[in-house]
Amino acid sequence: MSTQVTRRETLIRGLAATSLLSLVPDWATPALAQGESEVPFTDIPKTFNPAPPDSATRLLDIRKIDGLVTPKEPAELTIADIRAMNSVEIAAGYECSGNRGASMQGLVSSGKWTGVPLNAVLKHVGVNPQANEVVFFGTDRGTQDVVFRTQTLKLDQQFGRSIPIQKAMRPEPLLAYGLNGEPLTKAQGFPVRLIMPGWYGVANVKWVSEIHLQDERYLGNYEARWYRTIRGVGGTAEDGDLQTQWVESEVTHMNIKSVIARVTKKGVAYQVMGFVLNDGSPVKSVEVKIDDGQWQKAMVDASGGRYAWKLFTFKWEGAAPGEHTLPE
């Protein structure tokens, strides 16, 4: 079966295969009627560019007029455009917010990411002063049941997460295209993913295809309904008047967590090794406890940087035969 594709569809599909930010708007190339074709102007050179990327003024290409309104054109950057910008590296470790138990379930990693600061990209395309929220959409999507009032709707949900504009303009968020000196693999988020140092994995959006700036709060499935956390505020006072208030919010910054990864033996001495995950707050010290003994300071290696794992080691001497417990 042959499929007929219009010139406009061909243009949009071709751009969609290589673009990163918002794709071609519906009005960019006016639709042609059946059997209609454009007649080129001989006095407009092929090199004419009505909206150069570095121009502060947008010039209207009158050949694309298709109604009474000329909407603001979304910015579009290809992967090559992103790679051409000044790159940075940042070491960051993170985990899935659903990690449970001493084994960590393997849902954790740390590495050195290469990419472009998100704020550099936003400044490049320009940010409206009214923007309050930056929304990241990945290419992954699926059908979800969404309860709306008294109905359950089946909606095609695209994965999306958001951050406030104030956090987006900080130097840490990264649009990454490399990990540990190599290009991202598909499983790692190729071609470009968001890295939010100090935030749980769900906020580090993979396969970024669109970035939206908006003035209202984003309420997506993976932020407003899934990936929620609950914490208690206050407590019961002596007179019983003050009760704990449970506050629900989206999963964002990582809580501090230390993990013992392994214990090795050399001669009669043992070495305990582990790592610390946190949101980038300084780690003053790490202590290890054997059974019901005293907490003892371990050696900490924080050379990876603010957001990387903090590795720690503890030399355990005089261990008695039998089973022992190392609390985490």
Give me the mean pLDDT over the 295-323 stretch: 91
| Residue tagged 């355990």 (tokens) | 316
Residue 24 predicted with pLDDT over 50: no
Contact 122, 169 (CB under 8 A): yes
Range of the domain at 287: 257-316
**What is the band of 184 on the pLDDT scale with cuts at 50, 70, 90?**
very high
Report which of 139, 117, 143, 144 is spatially closest to residue 186, judged by C-alpha positions.
139
Whether residue 134 is predicted with pLDDT greater than 90 in this model: the reply is yes
Tell whether 68 and 94 lie within a shared domain: no
Looking at the chain, list the stretches that DSSP marks H as alpha helix, in order from N- to C-terminal side. 7-16, 79-84, 118-125, 165-168
For the entire predicted model, the pTM comes to: 0.73
pLDDT of residue 7: 33
Phi (first) and psi of residue 249, to 5 degrees: -155, 170
Residues 108 and 158 in one domain: yes
197 pLDDT above the threshold of 60: yes
DSSP 127-176: --TT--EEEEEEEEEEEEEEEETTEEEEEEEEEEEEEEHHHHTSS--EEE
110 plus 24 within the same structural domain: no
Look at residues 21, 48, 72 and tell me which one is the last residue of a structural domain: 72
Task: Among 72, 95, 112, give the residue marking a domain's end.
Answer: 72
Answer yes or no: is pLDDT of 180 > 60.
yes
Give the Cα-Cα-Cα angle 72, 170, 223 (nearest 5 degrees): 70
- Collapsing DSSP to helix, strand or coil, 221 comes out as helix
Of 30, 46, 72, the residue at which a domain comes to its end is 72
22-31, 123-132, 150-159, 237-246: least confident range: 22-31
Are 104 and 212 contained in the same domain? Answer: yes
Q: Are 156 and 68 in a shared domain?
A: no
CA 26 to CA 37: how far, in whole Å?
18
The count of structural domains within the chain is 3
pLDDT at 50: 64
210-239 pLDDT tens trace = 999 999 998 888 888 888 888 777 765 555
User: Do residues 27 and 67 make contact, with C-beta atoms less than 8 angstroms apart?
Assistant: yes
